[in-house]
């Protein structure tokens, strides 16, 4: 049996953007959720030193795992042993590891719609069944315990994301607690994707581990730590599941890159520099929230965290992929079509990443304002 999965349409947008860039066009890349900044200075210095002194074989850094355990104690008041951290080549393999070691083909896993495109497609690739729950403005585009309670039979698992992609919404602590209690009562295993932790514009996001110690937590150095290309992440696994997860990771992925592990250890102590990036994102977010109503985009998910704005463009189009391509060709601003994140309603939405420089955000706004004004009458459905 061969799995059928949908393409990640933002990749086709990015491919077109790079073709236009190669032709000499000025392109502003707001299509992907990746920081435009590089790794912290301390991480780069550590990597230079290691390249001169280390053979870089297969390896799991005991110091990095111990430092991650310290991070969870300090940030969430959660006690985790260093051996519970499985280092991976980014969050994507951590998600594959969490799902493949926790569920069997045919198992049903619930997730929010809209949600990250790879949740749905990874489940299908592993011959599992995604159970998508439509989440709209009434729940701030997030899963709730009440929505999970309506599923009959109960799913085998659920993927929680807070802050979420594409919306940036954060689940309130009381709701996380309610979800944890419901999942315990209904024997639903929780996978918590916390890759955008550290990127909040109000109260910080809370870890699901504060409410459910048996949850599996996915995280990475790609977002807050600005180390996308270093491909370093982790899966935090409860002790009872550790032997099984380690058997899977050893056969599927071996180890995370040794160089990245050295750099990641240094990045964990680079908070002052990294919080400077967060202040830039906060400024970019404010600029876009002020500007989007002038573009006619007034229905926007509340971006509590991450670095995205998910906007309703249903008054202009019911084909977000074609819309985003037209916007790119006309203005050089690359964005992501909502259909990636919601195969039902996403044709009426678009996502913008503001993890770029403030100058680029200002430039993007200046390019988009006249285009939206001119295009709106032609595109209105």
Report d(CA 276, CA 381) in Å as an integer.
42
| Whether residues 316 and 365 fall in one domain | yes
Instruction: Report the pLDDT value the prediction gives residue 82, as an integer from 0 to 100.
Output: 98
Report d(CA 258, CA 54) in Å as an integer.
9
Instruction: Report the pLDDT value the prediction gives residue 381, as an integer from 0 to 100.
Output: 43
In a domain, 4, yes or no: no
| Whether residues 115 and 33 fall in one domain | no
Instruction: Report the pLDDT value the prediction gives residue 380, as an integer from 0 to 100.
Output: 47
Report d(CA 309, CA 165) in Å as an integer.
9
Report d(CA 142, CA 200) in Å as an integer.
16
Instruction: Report the pLDDT value the prediction gives residue 379, as an integer from 0 to 100.
Output: 59
Instruction: Report the pLDDT value the prediction gives residue 367, as an integer from 0 to 100.
Output: 97
In a domain, 3, yes or no: no
In a domain, 1, yes or no: no
Q: With contact defined as beta carbons under 8 Å apart, do 107 and 99 qualify?
A: no
| Whether residues 121 and 232 fall in one domain | yes
| Whether residues 73 and 189 fall in one domain | yes
Helix axis angle for 271-291 and 358-379, nearest 10°, is 30
Instruction: Report the pLDDT value the prediction gives residue 57, as an integer from 0 to 100.
Output: 87
For 345, the token pair is 């309603």
Instruction: Report the pLDDT value the prediction gives residue 111, as an integer from 0 to 100.
Output: 98
Last residue of a domain, one of 209, 233, 267: 267
- Running along the chain, 381 residues long, what does each successive block of 10 average in pLDDT? 77 94 96 92 96 88 98 97 97 97 97 96 96 94 96 97 97 98 98 98 96 98 96 97 94 93 97 97 97 93 94 94 95 96 96 97 97 72 43
Last residue of a domain, one of 220, 242, 267: 267
In a domain, 81, yes or no: yes
| Whether residues 261 and 147 fall in one domain | yes
Instruction: Report the pLDDT value the prediction gives residue 1, as an integer from 0 to 100.
Output: 61
| Whether residues 144 and 97 fall in one domain | yes
Question: Domain containing 244: what range?
Answer: 57-267
Last residue of a domain, one of 248, 267, 286: 267
Rg (CA), the chain: 21
Report d(CA 212, CA 264) in Å as an integer.
27
Maximum pairwise Cα distance, the chain = 63
What CATH number did the domain enclosing 292 receive?
3.40.640.10
| Whether residues 140 and 31 fall in one domain | no
| Whether residues 92 and 231 fall in one domain | yes
| Whether residues 179 and 319 fall in one domain | no
């Amino acid at each position: 049996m061969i799995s059928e999965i949908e393409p990640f349409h933002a990749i086709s947008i990015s491919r077109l953007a790079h073709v236009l860039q190669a032709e000499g066009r000025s392109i502003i890349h707001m299509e992907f959720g990746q920081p435009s900044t590089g790794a912290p200075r301390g991480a780069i210095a550590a990597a230079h030193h290691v390249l001169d002194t280390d053979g870089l074989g297969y390896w799991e850094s005991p110091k990095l795992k111990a430092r991650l355990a310290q991070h969870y104690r300090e940030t969430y008041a959660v006690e985790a042993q260093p051996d519970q951290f499985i280092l991976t080549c980014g969050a994507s393999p951590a998600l594959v590891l969490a799902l493949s070691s926790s569920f069997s083909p045919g198992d049903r896993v619930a997730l929010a719609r809209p949600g990250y495109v790879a949740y749905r497609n990874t489940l299908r690739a592993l011959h599992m069944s995604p159970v998508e729950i439509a989440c709209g403005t009434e729940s701030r585009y997030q899963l709730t315990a009440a929505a999970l309670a309506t599923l009959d039979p109960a799913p085998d698992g659920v993927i929680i994301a807070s802050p979420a992609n594409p919306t940036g919404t954060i689940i309130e602590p009381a709701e996380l607690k309610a979800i944890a209690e419901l999942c315990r009562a209904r024997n639903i295993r929780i996978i918590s994707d916390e890759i955008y932790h550290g990127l909040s514009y109000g109260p910080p996001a809370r870890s699901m581990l504060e409410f459910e110690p048996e949850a599996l937590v996915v995280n990475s150095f790609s977002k807050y730590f600005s180390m996308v290309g270093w491909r370093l992440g982790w899966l935090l696994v409860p002790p009872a599941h550790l032997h099984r997860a380690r058997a899977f990771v050893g056969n599927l992925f071996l180890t995370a890159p040794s160089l990245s592990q050295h750099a990641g250890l240094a990045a964990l102590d680079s908070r002052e520099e990294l919080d400077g990036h967060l202040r830039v994102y906060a400024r970019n977010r404010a600029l876009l929230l002020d500007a989007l109503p002038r573009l006619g985009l007034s229905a926007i998910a509340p971006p509590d965290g991450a670095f995205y704005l998910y906007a309703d463009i249903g008054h202009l189009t019911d084909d977000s992929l074609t819309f985003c391509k037209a916007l790119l060709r006309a203005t050089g601003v690359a964005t992501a079509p909502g259909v990636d994140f919601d195969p039902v309603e996403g044709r009426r939405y678009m996502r913008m990443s503001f993890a770029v420089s403030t100058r680029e955000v200002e430039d993007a706004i200046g390019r988009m304002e006249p285009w939206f004004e001119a295009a709106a009458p032609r595109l209105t459905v």
